């Protein structure tokens, strides 16, 4: 059954994924078929599956945009190559792409949103921006582990680059789950003094055990108490009281409210996590503090080799923050993720028979 593929389809909101068997799709000269090694479970997938965020492609649809695998069909130059599939695939030719903003290309294609994604045995994708993985990297990591680079690692990398974080800056990471932990680690690699904020002691312990400078459980603290504690920690770490770099990774209304409340003189607040909730904030604070508010969307493919290099040379270690599950357990994993039962990034590995 060499030309058969299997996929877990979302058929309707909040319903179980359904296993579907089909023939390989037809491909053109600009496309390849990748045999999936692993696909990470992202908060965006939960937003599609549970919270009613509409996918661009109508249902039924295979979700999953955090993918690594091996090319098994396509042009000769790509055959057999191990690759990471960027979560955002731009056109490369439009005004945004030409001006270094390919991550928000309006013709972009996103696996698991615009077309069938990676919760499958195989996926058809354009090959233009695939990121090849060298054998030297695979000597350290399995291809399934490297799937997290497609989003969980690359997204915080891009926003940290955009924030112009530099050595000895005070970096505050709000939420150190499957994406936020990588933001904290990358900020540390950049030479910042890093404070991790979360509601979960287990996640904070993981951050501390992996070299993050300070942690604070904010579960039972009010905004004023958090601000006072953060100010004290910044002093203890020898950081300036100005120019803080604040990264909101939790994708929650309270997290975003806290990020805005922590903004001070010449601060940079970066919003990474997604929520449909609306906030009521005083935008004049942005003016009064001469602060910067940044948005970000995914990561432009041009940065993927830089991200992979951090992993390849050992500066960024990813294995401690990944938990692998068989793809046949997708329904259980999604429900457990919704219930916050995991402290690591879940990666689903095809186990079709």
What's the N-to-C CA distance of the chain in angstroms? 11
Is residue 251 within 8 Å of residue 274, measured between CB atoms? yes
Q: What domains are defined for the chain? A: 4-151+299-349 (3.90.180.10), 154-295 (3.40.50.720)
What pLDDT was estimated at residue 276?
86
Residues of the chain with pLDDT under 70: 1-2, 353
84-117 per-residue burial string, b: 16 or more CB within 10 A, e: under 16: bbbbbbbebeeebbeeeebbebeebbbbbbbbbb
Residues 250-261 pLDDT 10s: 999 999 999 999
Is residue 299 within 8 Å of residue 307, measured between CB atoms? yes
What pLDDT was estimated at residue 343?
84
- CA 40, CA 43: separation in Å to the nearest integer? 10
What pLDDT was estimated at residue 352?
74
What pLDDT was estimated at residue 129?
95
With 0.85 as the threshold, say if the pTM is over it: yes
What pLDDT was estimated at residue 156?
96
């Amino acid at each position: 059954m060499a030309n058969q593929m299997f996929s877990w389809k979302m058929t309707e909101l909040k319903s179980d994924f359904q296993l579907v068997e089909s023939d390989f799709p037809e491909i053109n000269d600009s496309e390849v078929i990748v045999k999936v090694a692993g696909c990470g479970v992202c908060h965006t997938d939960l937003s599609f599956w549970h919270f009613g965020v509409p996918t661009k492609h109508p249902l039924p649809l295979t979700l999953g945009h955090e993918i690594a695998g091996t090319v098994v069909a396509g042009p000769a130059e790509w055959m057999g190559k191990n690759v990471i599939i960027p979560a955002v695939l731009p056109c490369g030719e439009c005004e945004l792409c030409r001006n270094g903003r390919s991550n928000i290309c309006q013709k972009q294609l996103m696996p698991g949103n615009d077309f069938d994604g990676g919760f499958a045995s195989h996926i058809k994708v354009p090959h233009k921006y695939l990121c090849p993985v060298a054998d030297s990297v695979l000597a350290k990591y399995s291809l399934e582990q490297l799937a997290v680079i497609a989003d969980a690692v690359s997204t915080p990398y891009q926003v940290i680059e955009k924030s112009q974080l530099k050595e000895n800056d005070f970096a505050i990471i709000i939420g150190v789950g499957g994406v936020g932990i990588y933001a904290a680690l990358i900020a540390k690699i950049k030479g910042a003094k890093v404070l991790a904020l979360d509601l979960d002691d287990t996640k904070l312990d993981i951050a501390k055990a992996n070299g993050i400078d300070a942690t604070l459980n904010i579960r039972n603290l009010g905004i004023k108490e958090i601000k006072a504690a953060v100010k004290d920690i910044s002093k203890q770490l020898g950081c300036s009281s100005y120019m803080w770099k604040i990264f909101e990774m939790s994708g929650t209304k309270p997290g975003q409210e806290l990020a805005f409340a922590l903004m001070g003189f010449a601060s940079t607040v970066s919003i990474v996590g997604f929520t449909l909730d609306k906030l009521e904030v005083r935008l004049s604070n942005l003016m009064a503090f001469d602060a910067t508010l940044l948005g970000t969307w995914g990561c432009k493919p041009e940065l993927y080799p830089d991200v992979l290099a951090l992993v390849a040379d050992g500066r960024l270690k990813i294995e401690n923050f990944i938990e692998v599950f068989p793809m046949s357990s997708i329904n259980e994993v999604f429900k457990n993720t919704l219930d916050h039962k995991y402290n690591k990034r879940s990666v689903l590995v095809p186990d079709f028979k």
